[in-house]
């Protein structure tokens, strides 16, 4: 497992590409979890369209928001500071997991993390991610947008912790117009310690995936994938 305080999005794509290449050529190569935050960016998944980005090119430039097409499930979403992002590079065959179980596990990791803050998360059929009830409304607090090819996963999940939610107003998030996204900060009315969230996420991940995480430096990861 590798932690980053912040990682430029395009750099994360290249890291995942290199890790996938290693794992596809050597099925015994280690599994990895990358835990990080990103620069402000809109990403368009396999089912997405630029039509779901409502902001003009000029506004995107003013706000410093990049736009990237990516090979993952889902549609358009936002990443930015204050949001926990987890990318899972996992050999599903070795972990004895189906794709559906993998997605369920990622949702469960977040549901159990939220329980530590007395936030009750739940699933909505047909819409991967984690949802909550707040102020008599349904909200989406976490997104799932993963890829599984040759039984190796990449991309993963994003939990809104202290995220600037105004940026979500510039898109149709995940193609959903009936419900809005929300952050833990909005629900709890306070800024959270993101490092504490990282730690709780990692503990929950170990429990649900039944894996023991070993932290390594980013420099060691880059050496391994040369």
The mean pLDDT of 188-194, rounded to a whole number, is: 96
Question: Of all helices (H) and strands (E), which one includes residue 155?
Answer: strand 152-160
Q: What is the pLDDT of residue 172?
A: 79
Domain containing 82 equals 2-224
pLDDT at 226 over 90: no
Q: What is the pLDDT of residue 63?
A: 86
pLDDT at 100 over 70: yes
Kindly state the percentage of the chain with pLDDT values over 90.
Answer: 65
Q: How many domains does the chain have?
A: 1
Mean pLDDT of the chain: 91
Strands 32-36, 2-3: pairing is parallel
* pLDDT per residue as tens digits for the range 33-59: 999 999 999 888 877 777 888 888 888
Complete DSSP assignment for 166-196: GGGGGB-GGG--SSEE--HHHHHTS---HHH
Cα 6 to Cα 49: distance, rounded to the nearest angstrom: 27
* DSSP-derived secondary structure letter, 51: G
CATH number at residue 190: 3.30.930.10
The reported pTM is 0.90
Question: Residues 109, 208: contact at Cβ < 8 Å?
Answer: yes
Q: What is the pLDDT of residue 145?
A: 86
Cα 138 to Cα 194: distance, rounded to the nearest angstrom: 24
The mean pLDDT of 178-192, rounded to a whole number, is: 92
pLDDT band of residue 7 (cuts 50, 70, 90) is very high
Q: What is the pLDDT of residue 177?
A: 62
Check the CA dihedral 99-176-68-198 and report its sign. negative
CA distances from residue 210 to 23, 78, 97 in whole angstroms, order as listed: 20, 29, 11
Query: What are the residue ranges of helices labelled H in 90-174?
Result: 92-95, 99-115
Is the model more confident about 170 or about 173?
A: 170
The mean pLDDT of 60-79, rounded to a whole number, is: 84
174 is catalytic: yes
Per annotation, catalytic residue among 35, 113, 174, 187:
174
Q: What is the pLDDT of residue 104?
A: 96
* pLDDT per residue as tens digits for the range 110-120: 999 999 999 99
Q: What is the pLDDT of residue 157?
A: 95
Give phi and psi for 137, each to the nearest 5. -135, 160
Q: What is the pLDDT of residue 176?
A: 60
């Amino acid at each position: 497992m590798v932690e980053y305080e912040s990682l430029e999005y395009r750099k994360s794509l290249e890291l995942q590409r290199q890790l996938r290449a290693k794992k596809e050529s050597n099925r015994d190569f280690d599994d990895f979890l990358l835990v990080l935050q990103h620069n402000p960016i809109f990403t368009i998944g396999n089912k997405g369209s630029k039509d779901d980005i409502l902001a003009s090119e000029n506004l995107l430039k003013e706000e410093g928001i990049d736009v990237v097409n990516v090979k993952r499930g889902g549609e358009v979403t936002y990443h930015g500071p204050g949001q926990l992002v987890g990318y899972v590079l996992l050999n599903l065959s070795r972990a004895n997991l189906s794709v559906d179980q993998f997605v369920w596990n990622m949702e469960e990791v977040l549901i159990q993390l939220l329980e530590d803050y007395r936030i009750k998360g739940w699933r909505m059929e047909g819409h991967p991610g984690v949802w909550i009830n707040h102020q008599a409304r349904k909200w989406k607090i976490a997104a799932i947008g993963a890829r599984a090819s040759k039984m190796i996963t990449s991309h993963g999940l994003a939990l809104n912790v202290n995220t600037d939610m105004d940026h979500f107003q510039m898109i149709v998030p995940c193609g959903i117009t009936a419900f809005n996204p929300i952050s833990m900060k909005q629900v709890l009315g306070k800024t959270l310690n993101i490092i504490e969230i990282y730690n709780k996420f990692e503990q929950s991940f170990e429990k649900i995936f039944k894996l023991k995480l070993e932290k390594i430096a980013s420099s060691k990861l880059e050496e391994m994938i040369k």
